[in-house]
């Protein structure tokens, strides 16, 4: 995590977290984990960008990216609409 005040009052802060979840369809005898990385950049007034990535063995799959005015996704989740500004 990059502390907000390190770069000045009006500079954005960026931080990320990597987390592991059980893959869909796992059984007790066959466990597969999925690794995700979520990163967010914000200042004191607003979120400037967000990214969610699925980390795979050889590459990464960007599940969604949101900039200040843009939003893109490779995954549609029923019942959840992207928040637009």
Residue 16 within any structural domain of the chain = yes
Residue 36 within any structural domain of the chain = yes
Q: Using pLDDT thresholds of 50, 70 and 90, give the confidence band for residue 68.
A: low
61: which 2 tokens? 């799959």
* Domains of the chain: total: 1
Report the percentage of the chain scoring pLDDT > 70: 68
Which residue in this structure is represented by tokens 């907000």? Answer: 4
Its pTM stands at: 0.67
How many CA atoms does the CB half-sphere of 64 hold within 13 Å? 17
What is the residue range of 66's domain?
A: 4-24+32-73
Residue 80 within any structural domain of the chain = no
Phi, then psi, of 59 in degrees rounded to 5: -155, -170
Residue 48 within any structural domain of the chain = yes
Q: Using pLDDT thresholds of 50, 70 and 90, give the confidence band for residue 27.
A: confident
Residue 85 within any structural domain of the chain = no
Rounded Cα–Cα distance for residues 32 and 29 (Å): 10
Give the range among 11-15, 32-36, 49-53, 54-58 with minimum mean pLDDT.
11-15
């Amino acid at each position: 995590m990059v502390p907000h005040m390190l770069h000045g009052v009006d500079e954005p802060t960026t931080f990320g977290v990597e987390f592991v979840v059980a893959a869909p369809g796992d059984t007790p005898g066959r466990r597969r984990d999925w690794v995700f990385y979520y990163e967010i950049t914000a200042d004191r007034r607003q979120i400037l960008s967000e990214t969610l990535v699925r980390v795979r063995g050889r590459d990464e799959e960007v599940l969604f990216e949101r900039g200040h005015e843009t939003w893109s996704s490779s995954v549609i989740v029923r019942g959840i609409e992207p928040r637009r500004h």
